[in-house]
Structure 1
Amino acid sequence: MKGLLILLCFLTGVLSLFGQDKLVVDGEGEMLNKPLANNFHIAEDPTGKITIEELVEGDVELSFTKMEAPVANLDFTTSNFWVHFEIENKKDKSVFLVLETARPITNLVDLFEVSKDEIVIYRSGDGIPFTEKTQKSSCSCFRLYLPAHTTKEYWLQMGSDGEIISLPMIFWEEAQFNFVSTNKTFFVGIFYGVFLFVAIIYLTFYFILKDKSFLFYVLYVIASALLQFSLDGFTHQYFFPSGGYLTQHSVLVSAGITVLFVLLYSRTYLKVKEYSRKWDAVFTSFAGLVILVTVLSLIPGALYRMSYPIINGMSLISTVFILIAAIVIGRKHKVHPLFISGVTVLIIGAIIFILGNFSVINVPALTQNSLKVSTLIEILCLSIVMAAKYKQLQEEKEEAQARLLTELEGINERLEIQVKERTAQIEHQKHEIEVQNKDILDSIKYAQRIQKAILPSDKKFKSLLPESFVMFRPRDIVSGDFYWIESLTTTTDNPRELIVYATADCTGHGVPGAFVSIVGNNFLNLSKTDREVNTPALALDFLNKGINKSFNTIDSDQMIRDGMDIALCALDLKSMKLQFAGAKNPLYLVRDGKLIVYKADKQPIGYIGMDFKNFTDQEIDLEKGDVLYTFSDGFADQFGGEQGKKYKYKRFKEFLLSISSLPMDEQKKILESEFNDWKEGYEQLDDVLVIGVRI
């Protein structure tokens, strides 16, 4: 009897040392499709350095202990763990099983199939690229093949970087696994669909109302969805399939962001800042701590490992604090009961989840899904709360609009009275302005008649120069451009009969320009009576002195810089000579298809500078058929065309050259048409004057 006890103790020690458990697959299937962790032994490797080869060869020894719960929870840990077991297939046919091991977010999950000849490795976990997982699934599971009447030996290795390792050890029949996976996929689709729907709806409400509580609520919903997405292993599968740092940190980051936004949402919805600055300071402090811990969790090593329990603890504490704040604030201000209910459900779900992690509650179906279900219920409750707030805001908006409408009606009535009074005043002022405008317009029109009487008539121009045209287009009713023509006989020793004509552009346009043009016209007429004036240059000198004397008298308070640019031509048709003098305005001569430019002096009429020089004459031999053009700057400076640019002198020269062979009256019509087409859609900027003469 004593020997039997010694043998029993020896066998117990051996089993504890090697930890080899056995699963028998027979026709009854009692051990399949349910958590079996409490039927297996587990050993911890704190260093994480033990290899499968060392274990198979017996180079190292591990101390195995039996797991107590159907779903073992190994607390927050950075160790590796080993489970050694065999599977015996007693059936007469081959069997396919699916082994479900640790949670999807476990870093290292490797299964080793050991035989006499080789060691086959099956890989899983989020520490490796998703493509390297043996079973392309978000869960940590392995497909096992067992031929009839065979036994296979396995070693299961698991490792974490600080998170809890949860181990159900479920051996699924393949058909049952596929059925459960399909149902789970359906539920997960509905779960995330609800989150997406809520996020879209309440984001729309935010854009409509611009209320921050809706924005923070949407961000909280999105963060909660991302947290569950990470816990389900989908972040590794779809967002960061390369595994490693990004995948492993996604859980902590999404958890931290979720806590942050639920605090911000609750603070805004409950209007904590309006209720109490102390409570608001606590909310702000919690949010700051969450941000700090979340940032520190990004640093690999001890800080990262410590962040797991801290974030879990802060999640629960923050949620409890929100519930307390809602109850306290609800005593003085109305808080929707579903807000409190939703937060309460979330707390209950979180507590069940945490108690399951510590194996206090050993109901895997409840503990593993409590957080997800409670989050979903909370989101639904809070969605109803936010819908109620939306309705409340709309009602308040409608009430405000109704009050505003009433106020506006009163304002409108008062405004109508004021408008009638003001309209009567405006009508009276309008009548006065119309009378004044009529007087001014009548005066300007009379000035137009005076200017027209002063300017040479078409009949006079044609009688002296039959082959000629004058294109005269004032910008306003009266013009600052003017033209002048006379038949003169010089008072020199050898008198000559001349036809003298001028093309002048006075400073300004409209009434001011017209005044200057009348003065200029008068001085040109006076120059005829001066026996010393016998050339165009002397006439311009006479005109310059007269303009300066008229506009800048000795007792004048201020200098007037008005004057004119002018081209003055004296034709001797008997000798076929032309004398030309110009103040800034040139003369164009077209002969044999070429355009010749005779430049003017670079000083205008009315110039009083110290460097003033007398104007100079240019004598030109004429030939029959020559065409002379003088002009103001109005045509070339006009804006227009497709790009709204100036016409410019280069284009003006080319156009004059192209029409120079045509009859003079036809040239005038073509010039007017060209000007109208160019300025179409634009205002006329200046007076336009072009004179053409054919010899």
Structure 2
Amino acid sequence: MITAYLPFFKNDQFEGILGLDLTLDSLNAIIQQSQRKVGTLFVTTKNQQLLAHPRIASATQKTILFTKAAFPESINTSALKNYPTYTTNTFVQEGNYWIYSESIPHTSWRITYLVNYWDIYLRVFRDVGINTMFIILTIFVLLFFTNRYSQRRFISPAMSLVTHIQNENNHLPAQTYQVPRQWQHWFEVISSIFADNRSLVQELKVHNEALEQKVADRTREITAQNEELIQNQEEITSQRDYIANQNLTLKRKEENIQHSLNAALTIQRAVLPAEQKFRDFFEDYFIIFKPKDVVSGDFYWLWQKSPQEVMMMVGDCTGHGIPGAFMSLITTALLDRLTRIKGIENPAEVLSGLNRAVKKLLRQEETHSNDGLEGVIFSLSKQDNEEYLLNFASARSQAYYILPHQADVEVLDGDRTFVGGVGSDIRTFSSQEVLLPKETQLYFGSDGYPDQNNVVRKKIGRKRLKATLLSIASQKMQAQQQHLVGCLATHMKDTDQRDDILLMGLRL
């Protein structure tokens, strides 16, 4: 007899003790009922006494056995030693055995499950083997009956159908086949298909004979056309060779023209004033000179009369390319004659003399040629008080200047009269004088820069040019040049240059 008891409380007040007397035989019966097919369940106390075991513990024993009796001899010693330290709710391996134990709540007892894992493996293999044999037998039976059914319902009729197709294909007499009713329809369909096929083959044979005749006739036509094409090809080849020779001749002529243009550009640059002359007289300067077609109708001319005085002209001759370049060379030669040889120093008188000389040299009254030029001519002389006297004359052109520490662009306007062309030989130009302090910036140029259009045919314009000059006036001349060239490139992106471009900046 064993007794289990449990105190109970109500509202934290001790009310009494609940006890249960249980015989070892009844505990063994409970354990026996809970026993698994493999392994052994048994109950022990904290003193290593064996309370219940399905085989070795009973009430008839005079003494209670110890836990050692529950373990097999192969693991008896190690299991008895380690049993008190086993972690509950966890499988522990001892030799070929797994040991699992749990504490029984509200008691000092422990229930333990002991099993040989080889028994588990053998049990699993036996169950799997039986199930596998049953499945294999079932599959075999199913396959046997399925094969018999498919042989009678599908395979035999299908083989008969294949034989029927072969006979129809080889034009053999039809036979009678013992097949299920639902297969009879396919035999009839196959017979109908082959009958229709034979009819179509006959029609195609007739059609092919007619088509072969048409092909033969068309081949004769194509052969005749090919002979004609071959003849045409020979003519085209001859013409191609002639064109190739002409292209080679044109290419050589183009190369000669390009060499001539490059030589003309070298001559024109040689005629233009050397940059040393600008450095000798001016504090700083820049020159933007961009011909439209290799050589330019725009030009600039300089004559330094003395270390204290210089005369310059910036002009735009009629046209561009070779005609404009010839005109600029003629104008440069005439300016040298009028100033250096004839000694004319007043800018207005130089323009008047240049007008007469151009009309006479080009015989414009006879040829009715309207070629000429427009531009500005001026002289600069240094004064004793570090100022410069500017004497300015113009033919259809403007010039700009910016005084030091002044936020505005001043405009020098001239006459609207053109130099050269059909008309009166006597044309009078006016001149004006302006006294300029040191560090004044002067800007001269042709109409090529302000008249350059963008991709939507909008010009830069003189208003925008003046605003740009004013915004960069504080920079050095080289920086101003880079800015102006960049603005021009941005404006004329995706379009062509329309005219020669000349823009010059001078700092006194």
Which runs of 5 or more residues in structure 1 are unaligned? 1-394, 490-495
Which of 285, 291, 303 pairs up with 1:474? 291
How is 1:155-304 mapped onto 2 (pairs within 5 angstroms)? none
Aligned to 1:603: 417
Aligned to 1:640: 454
Give 1:668 deviation, angstroms: 0.9
Aligned to 1:675: 488
Which of 363, 368, 372 pairs up with 1:563? 372
Give 1:417 deviation, angstroms: 1.4
Which of 402, 424, 445 pairs up with 1:631? 445
Contact 2:364 2:422 in 1 (8 A): no
Equivalent residue letter for 2:428: N
* Deviation per residue, 1:236-290 (Å, 9 max, x gap): xxxxxxxxxxxxxxxxxxxxxxxxxxxxxxxxxxxxxxxxxxxxxxxxxxxxxxx
Q: Tell me how far apart the structure 2 counterparts of residues 688 and 655 of structure 1 sit (CA, whole Å).
A: 17
1:661 aligns with 2:478: no
Secondary structure of the structure 2 residue equivalent to 1:639: coil
RMSD after superposition: 2.5
* Deviation per residue, 1:153-199 (Å, 9 max, x gap): xxxxxxxxxxxxxxxxxxxxxxxxxxxxxxxxxxxxxxxxxxxxxxx
Contact 2:444 2:504 in 1 (8 A): yes
Q: Tell me how far apart the structure 1 counterparts of residues 344 and 394 of structure 2 sit (CA, whole Å).
A: 15
Q: Tell me how far apart the structure 2 counterparts of residues 693 and 432 of structure 1 sit (CA, whole Å).
A: 47
Secondary structure of the structure 1 residue equivalent to 2:409: strand
Aligned to 1:547: 358
Give 1:660 deviation, angstroms: 1.7
Q: Tell me how far apart the structure 2 counterparts of residues 638 and 513 of structure 1 sit (CA, whole Å).
A: 18
Contact 2:392 2:431 in 1 (8 A): yes
TM-score, reference length from structure 1: 0.39
1:690 aligns with 2:503: yes
Q: Tell me how far apart the structure 2 counterparts of residues 482 and 645 of structure 1 sit (CA, whole Å).
A: 26
How is 1:10-49 mapped onto 2 (pairs within 5 angstroms)? none
Q: 1:600 to 1:409 in 2, by over 3 A?
A: farther
Contact 2:364 2:421 in 1 (8 A): no
Give 1:567 deviation, angstroms: 0.8
Q: Tell me how far apart the structure 2 counterparts of residues 411 and 463 of structure 1 sit (CA, whole Å).
A: 78
Q: Tell me how far apart the structure 1 counterparts of residues 340 and 317 of structure 2 sit (CA, whole Å).
A: 23
1:520 aligns with 2:337: no
Give 1:459 deviation, angstroms: 2.5
Give 1:429 deviation, angstroms: 1.1
Equivalent residue letter for 1:423: R
Q: Tell me how far apart the structure 1 counterparts of residues 477 and 352 of structure 2 sit (CA, whole Å).
A: 32
Q: Tell me how far apart the structure 1 counterparts of residues 224 and 317 of structure 2 sit (CA, whole Å).
A: 60
Secondary structure of the structure 2 residue equivalent to 1:567: strand
1:457 aligns with 2:274: yes
Q: 1:407 to 1:480 in 2, by over 3 A?
A: farther
Aligned to 1:430: 247
TM-score, reference length from structure 2: 0.53
Secondary structure of the structure 2 residue equivalent to 1:501: strand
Secondary structure of the structure 1 residue equivalent to 2:401: strand
* Deviation per residue, 1:68-87 (Å, 9 max, x gap): xxxxxxxxxxxxxxxxxxxx
Larger RCO of the pair (alpha carbons < 8 Å, separation 6+): 2
Contact 2:390 2:436 in 1 (8 A): yes
Q: Tell me how far apart the structure 2 counterparts of residues 406 and 689 of structure 1 sit (CA, whole Å).
A: 67
Give 1:648 deviation, angstroms: 1.6
Q: Which has the larger radius of gyration?
A: 2
Aligned to 2:465: 652
Contact 1:582 1:600 in 2 (8 A): yes
Give 1:658 deviation, angstroms: 1.4
How is 1:7-86 mapped onto 2 (pairs within 5 angstroms)? none
Aligned to 2:68: none
Q: 1:667 to 1:409 in 2, by over 3 A?
A: farther
Equivalent residue letter for 2:461: K
Equivalent residue letter for 1:569: F
Q: Tell me how far apart the structure 2 counterparts of residues 566 and 486 of structure 1 sit (CA, whole Å).
A: 16
1:589 aligns with 2:405: no
Give 1:498 deviation, angstroms: 1.7
Q: 1:622 to 1:418 in 2, by over 3 A?
A: same
* Deviation per residue, 1:301-327 (Å, 9 max, x gap): xxxxxxxxxxxxxxxxxxxxxxxxxxx
Give 1:439 deviation, angstroms: 2.0
Q: Tell me how far apart the structure 1 counterparts of residues 376 and 364 of structure 2 sit (CA, whole Å).
A: 26
Equivalent residue letter for 2:458: K
* Deviation per residue, 1:8-46 (Å, 9 max, x gap): xxxxxxxxxxxxxxxxxxxxxxxxxxxxxxxxxxxxxxx
Aligned to 1:444: 261
Secondary structure of the structure 2 residue equivalent to 1:529: helix
Equivalent residue letter for 2:395: A
Q: 1:506 to 1:405 in 2, by over 3 A?
A: farther
Q: Tell me how far apart the structure 2 counterparts of residues 529 and 456 of structure 1 sit (CA, whole Å).
A: 15
Aligned to 2:75: none
* Deviation per residue, 1:188-220 (Å, 9 max, x gap): xxxxxxxxxxxxxxxxxxxxxxxxxxxxxxxxx
Q: Tell me how far apart the structure 2 counterparts of residues 437 and 676 of structure 1 sit (CA, whole Å).
A: 28
Q: Tell me how far apart the structure 2 counterparts of residues 511 and 665 of structure 1 sit (CA, whole Å).
A: 30
How is 1:380-419 mapped onto 2 (pairs within 5 angstroms)? 409=226, 412-419=229-236
Give 1:545 deviation, angstroms: 1.4
Q: Tell me how far apart the structure 1 counterparts of residues 388 and 503 of structure 2 sit (CA, whole Å).
A: 23
Aligned to 1:483: 300
Give 1:473 deviation, angstroms: 0.5
Q: Alignment length, in residue pairs?
A: 288
Secondary structure of the structure 1 residue equivalent to 2:489: helix
Secondary structure of the structure 1 residue equivalent to 2:267: helix
Give 1:542 deviation, angstroms: 1.6
Contact 1:551 1:559 in 2 (8 A): no
Which of 320, 340, 343 pairs up with 1:529? 340
Aligned sequence identity (%)? 30
Q: Tell me how far apart the structure 2 counterparts of residues 540 and 408 of structure 1 sit (CA, whole Å).
A: 75
Q: Tell me how far apart the structure 2 counterparts of residues 405 and 646 of structure 1 sit (CA, whole Å).
A: 62
Q: 1:500 to 1:407 in 2, by over 3 A?
A: farther
Secondary structure of the structure 2 residue equivalent to 1:634: coil
Secondary structure of the structure 1 residue equivalent to 2:330: helix
Aligned to 1:498: 309
Q: Tell me how far apart the structure 2 counterparts of residues 679 and 408 of structure 1 sit (CA, whole Å).
A: 54
Q: 1:406 to 1:629 in 2, by over 3 A?
A: farther
Give 1:461 deviation, angstroms: 2.2
